[in-house]
Amino acid sequence: MTNTNMKPTAPQKRKIIIFSDFDGTICMQDTGHVLVDNYGCGAAVRGEFERQIKSGERSFREVSNDMWGSLTIPFEDGFEIMEKTLTMDSGFKEFHNYCIENGFPFNVISAGLKPVLRRVLDSFLGEKTSSDIEIIANDAVIPTDGSKWLPVWRHNVDSGIDKALSVDEGRAQAEAQCEPDEIPLIIFIGDGVSDLAAARQADVLFARQGLALEKYCQENKIPFIPFVSFVDIKHEIEKISREDQAKTGGVGKPVRYNPRANMWRRISSKEAVPTLMAAATPTNEEKMFLWPETFSEPKPATINEGEATTF
C-alpha cells in the first residue's frame, strides 16, 4: 500500500502524490551492485550477467536470483562498505522535508530489495523520518548466517515489480480519498529507461539530467523536466502549486481540481508521457491538452550542476 495519508502541516492546494526510483535517482549508486561487487560474485561476473540480460539469453529475475544468491554475509554486515561507498542526492533531505511540510506523500518504487533500501534510508534520514516513506519494492529472505540471499518478487513480471501497476494503484488510492471532482497530480522521478513504464502513468515526469531516461525522452519526444538535484524538483513543484493556487482563487477558498488537468492522461497517445506545463498560459494549455504531440516539447536543461552528499 502506498503512503497517501501523511497529514499536511501547510495549506495544500492540490493532492500531489510523488513516486521516485531509488538507485541512480535518490542514491547515486546502485545499492545491489555495491553489495554484490564487494560481498558476492564480483563486478566481472555481474558484468557478464548484465550482458546476458541485454542479449536476451536470461531474464532479469533469473540473473538477479544468481546475483543476490551469491551474497554470503549477514544482513547488517553488508552496510559497512555501503556507508563508505554510497552517496545520496545533495537535495534529497531538503526535498523530503518539503514533502512532509506540505503533506505530499512520497513513495519509492524500485526493482531492488526493500530491506536494503529501508536500511539505507534509515541510515541517511534517521528511522523516524525514513518511516514516512513508503517503499514499493521486491522483498527478500535473508538467512541469519547470510548464506544465499533469496529475492521475493512482488509481481509476476520480468523485473519482479510492475512499476506501472504500482503507480496506478497509488493513483487509485489517492482518487478514493478525493472529492468527486478532485483529481490528484501524480509525479514520477527517475533516471533509467526501466522507469519509463511507471513514468507513462504519471502526470509529471522528472528525469535525472545526463542519464538514460532523459536521453530516451529526448530521442522519442516524450515531455519531461530535467533535474540535477531534488532541490530543482522542489522548485518546479512550487511553481505548479503557485499556478494551481492562482487558478483556484487563492488561499482560504475551496479548491476544486480542474478536470482538464487529467485530460492529457486520458487522450494522449500511448507513446506520450503526461505532463503539466506550469508556466503555460490558459490558451497554450488548451492547445497542449488537445494536441499534445504538437505543442509539448521537452523543457531545456538549464539547471546548474549540483553535488551529491556522502551517505
Q: How far apart are CA 189 and CA 211, in angstroms?
A: 13
> For residue 283, with 0-12 CB atoms within 10 Å meaning exposed, 13-18 middle and 19 or more buried, which class applies?
exposed
Q: 23, 37, 195, 203: which one is catalytic?
A: 23
Q: How far apart are CA 189 and CA 225, in angstroms?
A: 9
Q: 21, 162, 191, 244: which one is catalytic?
A: 21
Q: Is-catalytic flag, 23?
A: yes
Question: Do β-strands 87-89 and 308-310 pair in parallel, antiparallel, or remain unpaired?
Answer: antiparallel
DSSP letter for each residue of 55-124? HTSS-HHHHHHHHHHT-BS-GGGGHHHHHHH-EEETTHHHHHHHHHHHT--EEEEEEEEHHHHHHHHHHH
H and E: helices and strands count for the chain: 14, 9
- 171 to 34, 166, 185: CA distances (angstroms): 33, 9, 8
Q: Is-catalytic flag, 162?
A: no
> What is the chain's length?
311
Distance between alpha carbon 292 and the CA centroid of its chain, in Å? 23
Asked whether the beta carbons of 217 and 236 are under 8 A apart, the reply is no
All cell numbers assigned to 138: 521486491
Assign residue 49 a region: left if phi > 0, alpha if psi is -120 to 50, beta otherwise?
alpha
State the catalytic residues: 21, 23
